[in-house]
Amino acid sequence: MVDKIKEVFQLTDKGAKGLIKASVSTVFSYISYMLPLMFVMYFIRDLLMGNLKTPMLYVFMILGIAVVMYMFLYVNYNTLYTETYRESKNLRIDIANILKELPLSYFSRHDVSDLAQTIMKDVEAIEHALSHAIPQAIGLILFLIIVCISMLANNFKMALAIILPVIISFVLLLLSKRMQVYGSTKYYNQLRVNSDKFQEAIELQQEIRSYNQGYKVREDLLWEMDKSEKIHITSEFSQALPLLLSSTILKFALGFIILFGTNLYINGDISLLYFLGYVIGSAKIVFTTEGLYENIGEIMYLDARINRIRELRNTEIQKGERVDIKTYDIEIKDVEFSYNEATKVIDGISFVAKQDEVTAIVGPSGCGKTTVLRLMSRLYDYDKGSLFIGGNEIMKIDTDSLFDKISIVFQDVMLFNTSIMENIRMGNKEATDEEVKEAARLANCTDFIKNLPQGYETVIGENGSNLSGGERQRISIARAILKNAPIILLDEISASLDVENEMQIQNSLNSLIKNKTVVIISHRLKSVENADKIVVMNNGKIDSIGKHKDLLKKSKLYKNMIEKSNITESYLY
Ligand code: ADP
């Protein structure tokens, strides 16, 4: 049972046990609500039979009932809230641990805002449902079953007269809620499409205006909004009818039992006491069912949220052990890889990037160069072949050990919205301010940092939005210099630098890459002519490997690329 609950609500072991405790205590607290009713029935019976006991006995009974009710409610409150808040803490920690273990490929395949939603909003919703809807619903259902059985046992006809309408109303409610969940999911998906379109229209204003696309964009937006309005109206209508029927039947159920009961009473089939008892019991069933309806709605909406957590849990994590990597040759053997099953992006490549050497990967755009760097750093795991670092198979190295030894400078630099000092210090948390400044000097950052309002303490805006592409790039190089890892992977780092910057950075790169395993991708072939080894790639395969001069002789593709790049460099506007 614990396992089933864990799976259905995606809870931890403790959470599932807590939920069972909370549900059982809810049943007991509902049963305790029946005690005053039983007391009234007992009192009326004594009154009608002229058999009243001493007033003190009734006073003691009332006090006893109050104490029992207080105890049940106290236990219920404690189990509901303490267990819930403990579980939501555990759930958040559990999800954070899962995120830590997920392969980075997961983040590139999923919307980051969806992930944030899972952690914050989904856990919050589950927390609320755990402390309210779920145990109450389970408690209410068990309570209803108990009340119904005891009513059926005493007077079958009267019991059926209330139970049948309640069941019909309940089925209709489930139908309406299903439709509501289906309709609103469709509606929210459409709202997401709308907001994406709006965002695109705002971000691309410059292009829209310069290519005179305003009319088309407006048409598109109106069409999407029309669509969302239609979906909204259809979903409201489809759920309204069963909902209306359900609540009408429930409301009429009470009137029905009074009519039916009066008829039985007049015919002498039941006593007045039973009649009153059943009317009061039926009222309890109706109100309890109404309470249950509110909870059911909340639980049904939980489905999508629970599925998101389930998907997160079911994602295969990157396994590996802590390995002390001692040497730093990177050896790739017959490696194959595809982002999705349809196309093989890397198709059986083999080469070695040696320690203390610069290995350059060149080739036409889209041939798989960046993907090779991603495989070398385990951002993605390859499908076939093998990849060794210092003789250790990369799939067996945990990502923490790997990233201790690798610095990557990508074309798109990501910066945190904090000070320049802290952004560079990410390369090495232990570094002193002086060491950070030295790294910045080596990466030619000093000049632009000096001109910022608070120098190194300037907060640089979300993702470095207050800096130019070249400046962001130099900060990421400073980070890599500070990290001083033995393996350096550089992906098109000159793409966002101007010529002057590039020359300056070339000097600092030389100090960064000395005595290291360096793998570099550059579309500026001139900058890699001196590399110890150049790997020419084409369509996910290796065309040829060698030094610049050999390749000019043996690789047609390389020769072609060099010629084209010479033309580009001498191009005049
Ligand atoms: P290069 O660096 O040589 O320009 P890439 O390694 O970036 O080439 O890309 C190789 C191929 O893989 C391209 O066809 C590209 O569209 C595809 N690709 C790159 N990244 C992804 C991704 N995250 N998901 C799916 N396909 C991708």
Q: CA-CA-CA-CA torsion for 505, 508, 509, 513, nearest 10 degrees?
A: 180
Ligand 1 atom at shortest distance from the alpha carbon of 540: 10
Is ligand 1 within 6 A of the CB of residue 365? Answer: yes
Residue closest via CA to ligand 1's atom 18 equals 339
Q: Return the exposure string of 273-282: e unless at least 16 CB atoms fall within 10 Å of the residue's CB, then b.
A: ebbbbbbebb
Check pocket membership of 535 for ligand 1, CB cut-off 6 A. no
What atom of ligand 1 comes closest to residue 340's alpha carbon? 25
CA distance 258 to 278: 9
pLDDT at 79: 83
Q: Is 376 in the pocket of ligand 1 (CB under 6 A)?
A: no
Out of 106, 339, 374, 410, mutate this one to test ligand 1's pocket (max ligand atoms within 8 Å of CB): namely: 339
Tokens of 526: 């001139």
CA atoms lying within 13 Å on the CB side of residue 258:
7
Strands 487-491 and 384-389: unpaired
> Tokens 């980051």 identify what position?
112
539 lines ligand 1 (CB under 6 A): no
Residue 415 pairs in a beta bridge with: none
Q: Is the CB of 208 under 6 A from ligand 1?
A: no
- Block means of pLDDT (10 residues each) for the chain, 573 residues, are 82 82 87 86 86 90 94 87 79 80 71 68 82 84 85 85 89 86 83 84 84 88 93 86 87 88 89 83 85 82 80 80 90 92 88 93 91 90 93 89 86 81 89 92 88 87 71 87 91 68 69 84 82 93 92 90 75 56
The total of other beta-carbon atoms located within 10 Å of residue 152's CB is: 14
Closest protein CA for atom 22 of ligand 1: 339
Question: What is the C-alpha to C-alpha distance for residues 110 and 144, in angstroms, rounded to an integer?
Answer: 43
Residue that is written with structure tokens 């998101």 in the block: 308
Q: Which of 149, 176, 175 is nearest to 163 (CA)?
A: 149
According to the model, what pLDDT value does residue 97 have? 81
The two three-digit tokens of residue 120, written as one number: 């914050």
Q: What residue owns the CA closest to ligand 1's atom 21?
A: 339
Q: Which atom of ligand 1 is nearest to the CA of 521?
A: 2
Please report the DSSP string for 261-272 in residue order. Answer: HHHHHHTTSS-H
φ/ψ region of 484 (left if φ > 0, alpha if ψ in -120 to 50, else beta) reads: left
CA of 339 to the centre of ligand 1 (A): 8
Ligand 1 center from residue 366 Cα (angstroms): 6
Query: Is 339 touching ligand 1 by the criterion CB < 6 Å?
Result: yes
Query: Phi and psi of 517, rounded to 5°?
Result: -85, 115
Q: How far is the CA of 96 from the centre of ligand 1 (A)?
A: 29
pLDDT (0 to 100) of residue 309: 82
**Model-wide pTM > 0.75:** no
The answer, yes or no, to whether any atom of ligand 1 lies below 6 A from the CB of 370, is yes
Q: How far is the CA of 99 from the centre of ligand 1 (A)?
A: 24
Which ligand 1 atom lies nearest to the CA of residue 367? Answer: 3
pLDDT for residue 114: 66
Q: List the one residue out of 463, 466, 374 whose CA is nearest residue 423.
A: 463
Distance of alpha carbon 363 from alpha carbon 349, whole angstroms: 14
> Using a 6 Å cutoff on CB, does residue 379 contact ligand 1?
no
Beta bridge partners of 362: 536
Position of tokens 């070339």? 506
Provide the residue type at 474 as one letter: R
Decide whether any atom of ligand 1 lies within 6 Å of the 228 Cβ.
Answer: no
Domains assigned to the chain: 2-314 (1.20.1560.10), 322-405+514-573 (3.40.50.300)
Mutate to test the pocket of ligand 1, among 369, 371, 383 (most ligand atoms within 8 A of CB): 371
**For residue 517, is it left (φ>0), alpha (ψ between -120 and 50) or beta?**
beta
371 within ligand 1 shell (Cβ under 6 A): yes
CA of 108 to the centre of ligand 1 (A): 12
Handedness of CA 298, 299, 300, 303 (dihedral sign): positive
Q: What is the CA(474)–ligand 1 centre distance, in A?
A: 25
First-to-final CA distance of the chain: 75
Please name which of 495, 561, 567 lies closest in space to residue 529, comparing C-alpha atoms. Answer: 561
Residue 368 Cβ inside 6 Å of ligand 1? The answer reads: yes
Q: Which atom of ligand 1 is nearest to the CA of 371?
A: 6
Distance from Cα 367 to the centre of ligand 1, integer Å = 8
Q: What is the dihedral of CA 151, 154, 157, 158, to 10 degrees?
A: -50
pLDDT at residue 536 in the model: 94
| 331 C-alpha to ligand 1 centroid (Å) | 21
The number of the ligand 1 atom at minimal distance from the alpha carbon of 492 is: 2
Tokens of 413: 């630099």
For ligand 1, the distance from its centroid to the CA atom of residue 79, given in whole angstroms, is 52
- CA pair distance 515, 281, nearest whole angstrom: 85
